Amino acid sequence: MEETIVMFPAAGIGHIVAMVELAKLIQTPRFSITLLLTTGFFDHPSIDNYIRRISAAHSSISFLRLPPTTPATFTTAVSVGDKYFSFLKRNAPHVATTLTQISKTAIVKAFVIDLFCASTMESASSMGIPVYFFFTSGAAILSLFSYFPKLHQECTESFKDMVGVELRVPGNAPLKAVELPQPMLDRDVPGYWDMLDFCTLLPKARGVIVNSFEELEPAAVNAVAQGACFPDATHVPRVYYIGPLIAEPQQSGWLSCGVSVLDYKRWKISKNR
């Protein structure tokens, strides 16, 4: 049986481009690579055009569309982010079925997923498939997200209401509570609890692939390595820094990466001084 790597990016062209850049980095004659794509939310004609270009240029990378899905129905008004997380979670059964089908004709060596696709982790693990998160942001954000479950336990009110409160997160500069990423701000919306679930599952992965490099974020890299940002410092997934993965804008029409071109150029300039 052939060996393959299956990848599952979150919905939207930016997440797809980032995952394809990783696929291009690790492609080898030994493995085929299949990207599972959602259908029904954040779809855009640019995605199909991009897929055609990548398929023509890289024969070892293929794409498989999951069945159409819609977000859950909410009884109250919710944000686009809430609907987005709901949509991704509702794709979990389709992913499980597809992994089972692929496993009948190939050995799935790894399942690489976006953080927001963490709800698919359990089905892959139950099949004995190693699961890796591809973290498209940098090490500082990885540290923050890994520490989020502890922040949640230490506070009883929504961070959006904690005006003037400063948070201390390993590997990060002091951060005002109200400046946390939007999905983390309000405990009264579904997206907050989805985000908490995603972050809680981070340590359970076989590894985390980060689109950054150690010299750019030494404090955050050190905090992650020491386990200071994880609930259990003795149970930390292996972290691989493979950045910067920077898509060429003229190829994809989008630039999607945790390390921006500007960040990278600034680092190069500082190293040459």
Q: Does the annotation mark 114 as catalytic?
A: yes
Which long-range CB contacts under 8 A does 245-248 form with residues at least 24 apart? 245/18, 245/21, 245/22, 245/25, 245/211, 246/21, 247/17, 247/18, 247/20, 247/21
- 105: exposed, middle or buried (C-beta count within 10 Å: 0-12, 13-18, 19+)? exposed
Residue 131 to residue 118: CA distance in whole angstroms: 10
Q: What share of the chain is helix, strand, coil (3-state, %, to 5)?
A: 45, 15, 35
Q: Which of 114, 152, 194, 263 is catalytic?
A: 114
Q: Does the annotation mark 58 as catalytic?
A: no
Q: For residue 110, give the nearest of 10, 30, 214 by alpha carbon.
A: 30
Q: Is the separation of the CB atoms in 87 and 69 below 8 Å? A: yes
Residue 175 to residue 144: CA distance in whole angstroms: 10
Q: Which of 15, 152, 194, 263 is catalytic?
A: 15
Q: Which residues are catalytic?
A: 15, 114
